[in-house]
Structure 1
Amino acid sequence: MRIIISPILLLLVAFTGLAQFNDSTHYYVSCKSAGSINRTNANSAYLLNNAFKVSLDRKQFTLNLANSWVYGEQQNKLTNNDFNSTLDCNVYNSLPHFFYWGLGNYTSSYSLKVIDQYQTGAGLAYNVFDRAKIKINVSDGILYESSDIRLTDSTHDKYTTFRNSLRLSFKLNIHELITFNGVNFLQNSFSSSSDYIIKSNLTLGVKLRKWLSLTTTYSYNRYNRTGRENTLFSYGLTVERYF
């Protein structure tokens, strides 16, 4: 029941609250719901991909809260129960094209064998392009991580480490109709060259209405410490509002 109701709840949240607006503060709310169901006489599989984001934008800083949940089963066996929540902040200064960033992140992923992962850190970012139709940003910084991962069904590995976090993000806007954006991470541990994390999220959106888009999402994640990776390709609807 939770799986069926969750997209409806996301849609309702997108149209409630955060009604405040003034000349210097802007709010943004978006939610995405996508998935697939495949059922035959002998086989069954389904996947649900939900995401919800709230942003506050001011001249001096921006604050973003993003949550995603992927749930899937195949042949009545669990394949995905992956949750991610990120709170990040960008602080702007007088230096052109540069700004500071900080974040806190929580991840729990059945498919990647991550029971709990907490990350917090900060760094510096540079806007290669910052225009209405094209934005490209490169950032780097240091993360502190505390993780509990599953090596086998009965063996856990609890550890802490510092990572270098390199990020490339971009957004293209074509005639206010088509958007293509992506966020890509490479996070290497300072203590072991074989301990690295790769994250890539690409989204293509086509506007149906000012507040509604048809979106296609490609996501790839690899946690080399667990030797696990997942690839997700989904399509669905995105509801968004600006305040």
Structure 2
Amino acid sequence: MRLYLFIICICSYLMCFSQYSDSIQYHIKYTTGGSLNRTKDGDAYLLNNGLGFNTRKKSVELNSTTSWIYGQQNKVATNNDVSSYLDFNLYKTFPHFYYWGLAGYENSLSLKINKRLQVGLGGAYSVLDKPNTQLNVSNGIIYETSDLYLEDTLRDVYQTMRNSFRLRYHFVIKDIITLDGTHFLQNSLSSGSDYIIKSVSTLGIRLKKWLSLTSSLNFNKLNRTKRETLFMNYGLTFEQYF
């Protein structure tokens, strides 16, 4: 089922944060990478796949992103993490400002999330908004319903409202080097000790118009379960505008 979900969403994660001309309406992007470590005492590997789809027409933009991370250490699963998000942006306001809406689903072996659903609305402002230099901040309120594991057999099913703050940037140097980052801080409005941190930073070196070498750093922390993950991987990114 998870593989089926990933394949469907692989047709949606290929579109991401980018600029368009009048004739370009769609952007699709697939990223794959990982790491492998084998020694006399054991082995470990991690695979990271992501797919995104983005379309924009006049003042409305729709984005879909899906990722699947799977890892093992000494033949024991350490990661089996799936996330899928759909969001829209509405550019019918002030210059450099827009409204956003979000719906997302996650499950994560490493963070002990059986399932988590989030929906929300908010506003965003582009501090820098040029084709090769973009810096964006946003804030909003999201509703969350979660099913977590506090211990191996202790379930924690609950709902909460969160404030969601996001910092996003996109820099391109000489049309060859690309630096992207998306960083979230999501605090529960009912408990100061219940917060989520999500951070993804990606460095890309373009080899062809449609192909890049990429390196990414991912950090996630879920304070409610006292779990966090940090991993770096290397791989390839395939993308196409049409």
**Fold shared per TM-score above 0.5:** yes
CA, structure 1 residues 94+193, in 2 after alignment: closer, same or farther (shift >3 Å)? closer
- Distance in 2 between residues matched to 1:94 and 1:186, nearest whole Å: 25
Q: Which residue of 2 aligns with 1:17?
A: none
How big is the shift at 1:25? Answer: 5.8
Q: Which residue of 1 aligns with 2:228?
A: 229
| Equivalent pair of 2:24/2:241 in contact (CA under 8 Å) | no
Q: Which residue of 1 aligns with 2:126?
A: 127
Percent identity over the alignment?
48
| Equivalent pair of 2:87/2:102 in contact (CA under 8 Å) | yes
| Equivalent pair of 2:141/2:164 in contact (CA under 8 Å) | yes
Q: Which residue of 2 aligns with 1:19?
A: none
Structure 1 stretches of 4+ with a deviation exceeding 6 A read: none
Tell me which moved more, 41-50 or 137-146.
41-50
CA, structure 1 residues 87+232, in 2 after alignment: closer, same or farther (shift >3 Å)? same
Q: Which residue of 1 aligns with 2:159?
A: 160
Q: Which residue of 2 aligns with 1:54?
A: 53
- Distance in 1 between residues matched to 2:159 and 2:93, nearest whole Å: 35
- Distance in 2 between residues matched to 1:45 and 1:145, nearest whole Å: 33
| Equivalent pair of 2:143/2:160 in contact (CA under 8 Å) | yes
- Distance in 1 between residues matched to 2:207 and 2:154, nearest whole Å: 49
- Distance in 2 between residues matched to 1:160 and 1:179, nearest whole Å: 38
| Equivalent pair of 2:206/2:212 in contact (CA under 8 Å) | yes
- Distance in 2 between residues matched to 1:42 and 1:226, nearest whole Å: 30
- Distance in 2 between residues matched to 1:239 and 1:174, nearest whole Å: 19
- What's the secondary structure of 1:144's corresponding residue? strand
Q: Which residue of 2 aligns with 1:97?
A: 96
1:24-43 correspondence runs (5 A): 26-43=25-42
CA, structure 1 residues 222+122, in 2 after alignment: closer, same or farther (shift >3 Å)? same
1:79-228 correspondence runs (5 A): 79-228=78-227
| Equivalent pair of 1:149/1:156 in contact (CA under 8 Å) | yes
Tell me which moved more, 120-129 or 23-32.
23-32
How big is the shift at 1:24? Answer: 5.8
- Distance in 1 between residues matched to 2:56 and 2:108, nearest whole Å: 30
- Distance in 2 between residues matched to 1:98 and 1:24, nearest whole Å: 23
- Distance in 1 between residues matched to 2:179 and 2:120, nearest whole Å: 27
- Distance in 2 between residues matched to 1:166 and 1:66, nearest whole Å: 18
Query: Residue by residue, what CA displacement relative to the aligned partner does 1:37-56 show, whole Å, maximum 9, x if unpaired?
Result: 22234311111000000110
- Distance in 1 between residues matched to 2:156 and 2:47, nearest whole Å: 29
- Distance in 1 between residues matched to 2:130 and 2:95, nearest whole Å: 14
| Equivalent pair of 1:173/1:180 in contact (CA under 8 Å) | yes
| Equivalent pair of 2:216/2:234 in contact (CA under 8 Å) | yes
- Structure 1: tracts of 5 or more residues without a match: 15-21
- Distance in 2 between residues matched to 1:39 and 1:193, nearest whole Å: 41
- Structure 2: tracts of 5 or more residues without a match: 15-20
CA, structure 1 residues 81+104, in 2 after alignment: closer, same or farther (shift >3 Å)? same
| Equivalent pair of 2:133/2:171 in contact (CA under 8 Å) | yes
How big is the shift at 1:58? Answer: 1.6
| Equivalent pair of 1:25/1:58 in contact (CA under 8 Å) | no
- Distance in 1 between residues matched to 2:144 and 2:137, nearest whole Å: 21
For the aligned residue pairs, the C-alpha RMSD in angstroms reads 2.1
Q: Which amino acid aligns with 2:95?
A: P
- What's the secondary structure of 2:208's corresponding residue? coil
- Please report the TM-score for the alignment, with normalisation by the length of structure 1: 0.90
Q: Which residue of 1 aligns with 2:18?
A: none
